[in-house]
Amino acid sequence: MRWWRRKKAGDEDLERDLRAHLELEAQELHEAGVPKDEAHYAARRALGNTTSLKEEMRAMWRWTSLERVAQDARYVLRMLRRNPAFAIAAILTLTLGIGANTAIFSLVNAVLLRPLPFRDPGGLMSFWGENPQLGFMGPASVCDPDFLTWRQQNRSFSEIAAFHAQTANLTGSGTPERLLGSAVTVNLFHLLGREPALGRAFLADEATAGHDNVVLLNQKLWARYFLSERSILGRSITLDNRAFTVVGVMPADFQFPSQADFWTPLKLSGDCSNASNQVIARLRPGISQGKAQNEVNIIAHRLAQERHRGGNGWKTSLVSLQEQMSAKLRPTLLLLLCAVGVVLLIACANVANLLLARGTARQHEMATRRALGASRGRIAGQLLAESLCLALIAGSLGLLFSFLARHALVSLLPSVSNQPGFMQPVVNNAIDIRVLSFVFLSSIGAGILFGLAPALQSPGLDLLSALKDSRAVARSASRLPSARNAFIVAEVALTLVLLVAAGLLTRSFIRLRTLDPGFVPDRILTATLELPETRYRDESKRISFHNSVLDRLDSLPGIRHAGTVSFGLPFSGGGLRGDITVEGQPPPPPELSVSKLVVSPGYFPAMGIPLLKGRAFSGRDTNRSTPAVMVNASFVRQFFPNESPIGKRINPGFTGSPLYQVIGVVGDVKEPGHEKKPPIALYLPYSQAPWPFLQAFVTIVVRTRGEPLTMTNDVREAVQSVDPEIPVFDVASMGQLISKSVSEPRTNMLVVGLFAALALILATVGIYGVITYSVTQRTREIAIRAALGATRAQVLTIVVRQGLALTLVGVALGLVASLAVTRLLANRLYEIQATDPETFLVVILLLIATSVVASLLAARRAARVDPMVALRYE
């Protein structure tokens, strides 16, 4: 309100100045002989109208423009109150548009724009591995010696750190708990610039053997399991039967890698056979990403030569950490942002049409105001102020809406946490300055967009005729249908694009859901456990634990079949894949990779995977019997197209493993993945698992009689009755897993579908509005036609034809746009072409039908016109 005070001061100053002048003038006149009173008036006359003088002065100082805005705003609010139907229609339309945009933008902001909660996050780089031949792109896996080389040889990074995910069973007090954690080089916290909330970070010597039994806890775990007791520092906790001393607690918002409950120091070894580290680094000040990338290329090349790994197509590239963390969500978010932007455009077109229609009705008012001396600019400005006012009201409501819906919005984001190596970003979609600016700017933008047409329309008006004759208004308005029609055509075209996108995504989603997975997914419960290496070093211990648990499960009345699988459970992400060789056949091409699963005999009946040939695993297959392998139908097609596979021997590609003899063939299990064909798979029996970890990390699969999730506790008890210190985690029904695996396509379908529906409604309202308006304008013509004998049907046809013509032009334009746009959707579609003719046809018919209905509703008014009344009125 400072300008207000300054304005007051300016006013007073002027008044004093004028008063002094008047007094002096009057005094001089008086001294020259004019009577006092008369002198006073003469002086006043000479000065002129002081009020208008003051007005003029005020216009000179800048406040007037502000004052004028306030005046316009007051006027607009008065107009809107007087015409509530218009105001509600316009504000509602815009609120939908702006609110939806704000909601989506708040997610984009949270995931893509908000800086990570680390010191100077822009300089943080992640090492990324790319292999175009295998179509792989993800975090690079680096072995310890390679990491040391990177650390010693680079000149681009001020700091470089490695980490890998680990899991541990926390035991000691109460129920055992399964924890996700990370082994990190001790400098990781310093690199990211975060301090523990309590205690200290790791010391340099804690990366060496004998000193590495220390652990940092996440604040959430500390609160949940240790009730936030400060005495935790220095206390010993048991992870996988090893004692660790707690040295600190990291703040709850420090989620790196995401969902980590604890951190232990990473001891670097000289062994390069197990490349499991991810690497992050901070760019040295003044070093660009491109420059660092050049150096990375040189070192990577040198490493490949030293370790004899040349020519396998792998490339190491730097990706900013921010980008990496949002990599999986970016395409979805951008898709949604585009879709919602289109909705806003349609909303703008609709409101512009509303304003145009109303502008015509207000020609008389505008003409009067012009005649009374308002400048053209002032009137155009006032109309624009009106649009901006509407847009800002709608923007505020939209903001309110997305604030209220902020939690629901986050759950809209597809889950990526089950995709290994990718981090689920911490989504904090609070309303911040960026969201506020977005709302403000998009409101202003929308206001100008839809306010421009009516504002431009008003000045070019023939004043006299508008004042004299209301029909002239109609005539001058008849120049405008082109603008109005253009808006409708644009709306229809944009709606078509959205509908096609929604249609394609829906069909793709239906394909995904109706895909026959090759097993019976209802009534399956899955749960995972991991045997700690410390207590289960002996194979016999692992096998006896495994068999006891399965025996207990089999004896439960609610369970039909119980089995286990190590890695590779369908719809859970991941799994072991690699090369194999068949005895007597040349090695298959390297790009052919085979899924390798380790299962118990009960796995196939529990999943409902049919046995096609030979026999299934049974209790006869032990670690002393002949190694046996089962293969799937695709395997047979690939390797034994013309012969029986039974009795053939296979090397499953695990170092040091024997040859396994094929005993049976099972059906293919299909997962909607990136490949078109179902994966080639082989199954090894649990008792003959080639590597210990395949027996330690086990997923239990049970087929239940009733609702699977009701059996959760029974499964847990069965496990813990065998070993009370083994936690059971990742408990889910197969239905849940499948639903999670399609969460991204589902989000795309639902949200784009919702926006398409909004667009269709807006476009329908738009067509209805324009046709209604044109019917009102053409009352006279219609009346004459009716008087000359046109039937009701003929009148209807005339009107509907007009709406149809607009729609068809819009459809034609929309088709061209759709063909261009949906190509971008192609890699989000499953088993459906981006140009799917059926989808296009259905969408076009839907749009045409909608426009015909909208026009018909509007045309009923035309058909009701009584020629006598209409003509007499003229």
Partner 1 sequence: MPKKSSDRIELLQGTLDMLILRTLLFGPAHGHQIAKHIQRTTDDLLQVEHGSLYPALHRLERKGWLAAKWEAAGKDLKREFKYYRLTPAGKKQLTLEESKWKQMAGAIARVMWPAEEG
> Can you give the binding site for partner 1, defined by CB under 8 A?
10, 13-14, 16-18, 20-21, 23-25, 32, 46-49, 53, 56-57, 60-61
Q: Give the SS3 label for residue 661.
A: strand
**Contact, 595 vs 578, CB < 8 A?**
no
- Min dist. Cβ of residue 37 to partner 1 (A): 20
- Name the nearest CA neighbour of 681 among 593, 584, 571: 593
**Contact, 275 vs 143, CB < 8 A?**
yes
- For 128, 243, 296, 544, the CA distances from 149, given in Å and listed in that order, are 17, 32, 11, 44
Please, which residue, 25 or 195, has the CB nearer to partner 1?
25
Strand partners, 613: 665
- Min dist. Cβ of residue 374 to partner 1 (A): 22
- Name the nearest CA neighbour of 377 among 75, 72, 7: 72
Please, which residue, 40 or 703, has the CB nearer to partner 1?
40
- Min dist. Cβ of residue 12 to partner 1 (A): 11
Please, which residue, 41 or 873, has the CB nearer to partner 1?
41
- Min dist. Cβ of residue 297 to partner 1 (A): 60
Residue 268's Cβ-side half-sphere holds a number of Cα atoms within 13 Å equal to 18
Please, which residue, 60 or 592, has the CB nearer to partner 1?
60
Please, which residue, 33 or 557, has the CB nearer to partner 1?
33
- Min dist. Cβ of residue 15 to partner 1 (A): 10
Please, which residue, 10 or 867, has the CB nearer to partner 1?
10
- Min dist. Cβ of residue 3 to partner 1 (A): 14
Cα(864)–Cα(786) distance, integer angstroms: 10
- Min dist. Cβ of residue 72 to partner 1 (A): 24
Strands 236-239 and 198-199, bridge-based pairing: unpaired
Q: How many C-beta atoms surround the C-beta of residue 46 within 10 A?
A: 12
Please, which residue, 17 or 591, has the CB nearer to partner 1?
17
- Min dist. Cβ of residue 39 to partner 1 (A): 14
Tokens of 864: 């009701």
- Name the nearest CA neighbour of 755 among 347, 476, 457: 347
Cα(580)–Cα(651) distance, integer angstroms: 6
Strands 214-218 and 242-250, bridge-based pairing: parallel
Please, which residue, 10 or 121, has the CB nearer to partner 1?
10
Query: What is the SS3 string spanning 499-519?
Result: HHHHHHHHHHHHHHHHCCCCC
- Min dist. Cβ of residue 24 to partner 1 (A): 5
Please, which residue, 61 or 729, has the CB nearer to partner 1?
61
Name residues whose C-beta falls within 8 Å of residue 690's C-beta, 6 or more positions apart in sequence: 652, 654, 656, 657, 684
Q: Is 96 left (phi over 0), alpha (psi -120 to 50) or beta?
A: alpha
Please, which residue, 20 or 134, has the CB nearer to partner 1?
20
Q: Give the SS3 label for residue 577.
A: strand
- For 9, 67, 73, 77, the CA distances from 1, given in Å and listed in that order, are 13, 11, 17, 21
| DSSP secondary structure letter of residue 277 | B
**Contact, 211 vs 200, CB < 8 A?**
no
- Min dist. Cβ of residue 20 to partner 1 (A): 5
Helix, strand, coil share (%) of the chain residues, nearest 5: 55, 15, 30
- For 132, 367, 466, 711, the CA distances from 475, given in Å and listed in that order, are 65, 15, 10, 77
Cα(572)–Cα(526) distance, integer angstroms: 10
Cα(599)–Cα(686) distance, integer angstroms: 5
Instruction: Give the angle subtended at the CA of 759 by the CAs of 753 and 764, to the nearest 5°.
Output: 130
Torsion of CA 769, 774, 780, 781, to 10 degrees: -130
Name residues whose C-beta falls within 8 Å of residue 620's C-beta, 6 or more positions apart in sequence: none
Cα(343)–Cα(101) distance, integer angstroms: 8
- Min dist. Cβ of residue 68 to partner 1 (A): 18
Please, which residue, 59 or 868, has the CB nearer to partner 1?
59
DSSP structure string for 203-227: -GGGGSTTS--EEEEEHHHHHHHHT
Tokens of 587: 């090695």
- Min dist. Cβ of residue 61 to partner 1 (A): 7
- Name the nearest CA neighbour of 854 among 752, 756, 773, 754: 773
DSSP structure string for 130-165: EETTTTEEEEPPB-HHHHHHHHHH-SSEEEEEEEEE
- Min dist. Cβ of residue 381 to partner 1 (A): 23
**Contact, 851 vs 492, CB < 8 A?**
yes
Q: Give the SS3 label for residue 17.
A: helix
Please, which residue, 46 or 371, has the CB nearer to partner 1?
46
- Min dist. Cβ of residue 43 to partner 1 (A): 9
- Min dist. Cβ of residue 414 to partner 1 (A): 59
- Amino acid making up residue 217: L
Buried/exposed code over 144-153 (b: 16+ C-beta within 10 A; e: otherwise): bbbbebbbee
